Each structure stands twice: as structure tokens, then as C-alpha cells.
Structure 1
Amino acid sequence: MLYTVIKILITSGLVVAISEIAKRSSMMAGILASIPLISVLGFIWLYLDTKEVEKISNLSTSIFWLVIPSLALFVTLPILLKKGIGFYPGLGIATSVTVVCYYLMIVVLGKFGIKL
């Protein structure tokens, strides 16, 4: 139980740190957020929990393929905000677009025999 609490505190602490840094410098927060810290922590937690490198390899491959459709969020959200759409509606729409892109990516990968 303590181990799970430690994982939660470290992982959530990074998210809070990035949001606090963004108040001062969006560039610095962007750099920190673009580093795959959550993925790296996921690899570490998974390895410590299972010691199964094949699971880490599979996770890494899935992350690679799913980064591509996740970029839709970072393109769609600023466009919507610049058009005057409010933050929460814009975030909801951008997230929905991203979910559709995830679905399309999974379908396309499946056509090429790539299973995530």
C-alpha cells in the first residue's frame, strides 16, 4: 500500500510541478511536459512490479504508435481557443477529436497487422 501511495505522489507531483512552472514559463513547462516522464515512470513502475521486460517493450511500442494521434489535441486546442471557443468546451472538443484519431490509428494499424 505504501508503495502505491509513493507512486501516486511522485507521478502526481510531476503534473503539479509542470502546471506551476507553466504559470511562469510556458516554454519551460512545454519542455518538461514533452519529455516522456510519465512514460518513463510507467516503465519503472511496471519493471519494479513485474520484472517483465517484454511488458515494458510492448508498452513502449504502444506508446510510440499512440503518440501520433495524441498530437491532434495539441493542434486542435489552440485553433479552437483562438477562434474564441471557451477553454472547457475547446478542451472537450479537442479531446473528442483526439479520441477519434486514436480509434482511427488503431483501425489503420490493425489493417497492417499491428496489434497494440
Structure 2
Amino acid sequence: MTSAQELLQQYGPREAMEYDVVIVGGGPAGLSAAIRLKQLAAQSGKEVGVCVLEKGSEVGAHILSGAVMDPRALSELIPDWKEQGAPLNVPVTEDRFLFLSASKAYRTPSWLLPACFQNHGNYVI
């Protein structure tokens, strides 16, 4: 087994970066936490180093594709998201809920759908 001292001699010291807060996961909760921490720090006139660690190829890579998003939380977190050019460009215009049989699809009338299946005002992302 190689000791830490031997590794240091062979490869040199590791590069290090220091942060005040490290958030593991670049999904909605992690990104919201990072944004809110930076907002609160700015409001109090302080600088906070925040790092978001994500295992995907880019932040949000695992969850933000082919989904329908309610923009309410985004509007609370970043009120001017539209003016800033957030890429929410495809509003939901229609909901279809189908019951499938072996040979046919039966459409459920919109008025029968519960609120959680009604996506008007949301965006396809």
C-alpha cells in the first residue's frame, strides 16, 4: 500500500478550491438552493462561494428534458425570468389523457381530468 507521503512525492499536491457551501446534485432543489443562497448573500452585502456538484454532463441533465414544468417556483425565485431569456418557449396548449386498449384509444374529456393532469399555464421543457 502506498502512503500519502509517497503519493505526494510521486504526483505532487492536489489542486484544491475552497467554497463556503457545496451542494451535491444539480436538480431543481440543488439549483434552487444555490440561487437562493446567492440571492440572500447579495441582499446582506456578503459574498458566498457556492459550488454545485452534478454527476451528469451538465447541470440538470438527468431531469430537465421532456417534462412539463409549472413556472410558479421559478417566478418566486427569479421574478424576471422571462425578461432574462429563460428558455421556456413552449407553453402547454392542450392536455390529452388516453385509456388504451389492445386496439383503440379512449380520450378522457378535459372536465373529468383532476387538476394535477391539467397543464395550462405550464411549459414543455
TM bucket, shorter chain: under 0.3
Q: Relative contact order (alpha carbons < 8 A, sep ≥ 6): 1 or 2 greater?
A: 2
Decide which structure has greater strand share: 2
Decide which structure has greater helix share: 1
**Given the two structures, how large is their TM-score scaled by the length of structure 2?**
0.22
**Given the two structures, how large is their TM-score scaled by the length of structure 1?**
0.23
